[in-house]
Structure 1
Amino acid sequence: MFTPRMSNSSDTHVIESASDEQEKHQGIVGRLAETPCMRTSLLYGIGGGVVAGLGHFLFTSNVRKSAHFGFISYMIGTLATWSYCRYKWSETRMRERQMQYVLRNKLLVEGTELEKELNAHSEDA
């Protein structure tokens, strides 16, 4: 829903929607949802913790130990999944930056004498 709001900042009028204000005040849940890999890690951790806790309860019939086992499984599963996912995410991010650097330099060198020299060196190798 669009709710216009006029704000006066240096004599300019800016119309903001209600969704802009919600983005500013989304709280901890919104920040967690935006963190890369956090949503997936929490889902895997919760699922693994529930399955591990219920499985432990079926074998031991001890509620307290099963709850502890489920919680520990949740923590380990969440941390392991988050660590692995963040590692892969940062690896991909680094490759993207390297590719941007290479493409930017390729555009700067294209059509110059330096490109001919580089091509000659690559053919010799």
Structure 2
Amino acid sequence: MTFKEVYKAWLPIYGSTVKESTLQIQINVIEKDILPYFENMSVDKISTHYCQTITNKWHTSYVKFHNLIGLTQRILEYAVTVLKLIKVNPMVAVIRPKRKRKLKDKVYQAPYYDAEQLEHFLVV
């Protein structure tokens, strides 16, 4: 069974657990960002190494890459627990990269004036 077939079987169950608006957003994410990498692969041929490679690509391309990992993991977990197609979910062992903060992401800290600087500022 391919990843896309598992996804199609999983979708109605997932849809019953979320609001319609959430479902539509997640369908768009899956079809745009996940299926291009997994759709024609047989689930028993998806390795942790392959999943890690894709996770690393997502990490460099998407701010919310954790959502992509989570959705992929849920679909594969359905193949493990419900469909019994594979014994282990290959996404479980993936190491999730940490997003490094960029300079612009740092929290703004207002300038602090000591008493002398404040007095000088108010006089000028």
Q: TM-score range by the shorter chain?
A: under 0.3
The normalised TM-score by structure 1 is 0.27
Quick one: higher RCO (CA 8 Å, sep 6+), 1 or 2? 2
Whichever of the two has the greater Rg, that structure is 1
Larger helix proportion, structure 1 or 2?
1
The normalised TM-score by structure 2 is 0.27
Larger strand proportion, structure 1 or 2?
1
